[in-house]
Amino acid sequence: MKKENKRMELSELTKGSAWDVQENDIQAMIQTAQRDIDFEESWEHYLSVIKSAFSVETYKGDDKRTQMSLEKQGYKLLDVKSGDKTIGVAIKKKVIRKITDFTYENIHHVTTAQMLNVLSNNFDSGWESIPQSVKDIIEQGFDISTTTLPKERLKKKGGMYEKKKKDGFDVLEIPRGTWVEAIFAKQKPLVEVPKMNINDITDDTSETNENDNENYTSNAEEEEEMTEDNYGTLMDIPTDLNGDEDGAQSYDEEI
C-alpha cells in the first residue's frame, strides 16, 4: 500500500523548507492554520518565515486598485483573518538571479544547474572573483573544484575533466582567450541534525538514577552490618597476647 504524503503545516515551515513550496501551498497552509486558536499571536512569526522565500505585500482587503496592481506583478492574493479583521496578503516566490541572492537557507534547495547558471550570468572573471562570503555559502551546498587549462588540453582523455564528469559533477566553462577555466560543482547531500527530545533526556536520566540506586542497594546488601553479636567476629582481636586466657597477668609475672 502506497503511503500518502502528509501536507506540511504552517507551523512546520522553516526558512529553508519555504524554498520547496509554492504560492498555492502557502495558501493551503494558511487556510488550515487559521483554525488554530493561537494563529493570531503566531502570525508575525509565520510571516517572517514566509518572507525568507517569498516577496510579501499586505493591503486592505477591500482595496481593489492595489489588488489589480499586485496581480499584474504576478502576486497571488490571499485573505488572512486576524481577529475580527480580514487583511489582504500578496505573495510571490522569490527568484534567485544574483550570486548575492544565495543564502544559507536556500543553497540546499537550488539545483547544480541553477547555481551554475546564476554564476555564468553574474561574472566573467572566474571563481576567484566571487566574494569569500558568497563562496562560503555556495560551498555549504556544493562540492566545488576548478582548473584552468589550454582549450585543447581541457578535455584530455583521463584528465580531471573526464574524471569529474564520471563522478557526477556538472561543469561551467569560462573562456579565457586560448585558455578555459572550468568550475566543477556537485550538490552535497542535505544532512539533517536530529532534534533532541526532552523526554529522551528525562528517560535516560531516570534510567541512570535507577541503575545507581540498584548498585547502591546491591553493595549495601553485600556489606555485613556490625552489631554487638558479631563485633568480635568482625574485628577478630585476640584476648591473649601470649596464648593464655589472662594475657595481662602473664606479662606482669614475667616482669
Residues 175, 208 within the same domain: no
DSSP 185-210: EEEPPPPPPPPPPHHHHHHHHHHHHH
pTM of the full predicted structure? 0.68
Position 192 in a domain: no
Position 46 in a domain: yes
Question: Residue 247: what pLDDT?
Answer: 42
Task: Take residue 105 and report the three cell numbers written for it.
Answer: 537557507
Residues 126, 149 within the same domain: yes
Q: Which domain holds residue 83?
A: 10-93
Residues 116, 77 within the same domain: no
Residue 9 contacts residue 32 (beta carbons within 8 Å)? yes
Question: Residue 7: what pLDDT?
Answer: 79
Position 4 in a domain: no
Question: Residue 208: what pLDDT?
Answer: 54
Residues 138, 183 within the same domain: yes
- Lookup result for grid cell 486576524: 82
Question: Residue 187: what pLDDT?
Answer: 96
Residues 35, 80 within the same domain: yes
Q: How far apart are CA 101 and CA 188, in angstroms?
A: 19
Position 2 in a domain: no
Residues 114, 171 within the same domain: yes
Question: Among 50, 77, 93, which residue terminates a domain?
Answer: 93
Question: Among 66, 93, 120, which residue terminates a domain?
Answer: 93
Residues 217, 138 within the same domain: no
Residues 86, 75 within the same domain: yes
Position 208 in a domain: yes
Question: Among 59, 93, 127, which residue terminates a domain?
Answer: 93
Position 129 in a domain: yes
Beta strands in 54-188 (DSSP E): 54-60, 76-82, 85-93, 142-150, 170-176, 179-187
Position 122 in a domain: yes
Residues 50, 81 within the same domain: yes
Position 3 in a domain: no
Residues 58, 37 within the same domain: yes
Question: Residue 82: what pLDDT?
Answer: 74
Question: Residue 209: what pLDDT?
Answer: 55
Residues 123, 145 within the same domain: yes
Question: Residue 242: what pLDDT?
Answer: 45
Question: Residue 210: what pLDDT?
Answer: 55
Residues 79, 124 within the same domain: no
- Give the pLDDT of the chain (255 residues) as one tens digit per residue: 444 456 789 999 999 999 999 999 999 999 999 989 899 999 999 999 999 999 999 998 788 999 999 999 999 999 998 777 888 999 999 999 999 999 999 999 999 999 999 999 876 678 999 999 999 999 999 999 999 999 999 999 999 999 999 999 999 999 989 999 999 999 998 776 554 554 554 555 555 555 555 554 545 444 445 444 544 444 444 444 444 444 444 334 443
- Provide the domain count of the chain: 4
Closest Cα to residue 83, out of 39, 136, 49, 27?
39
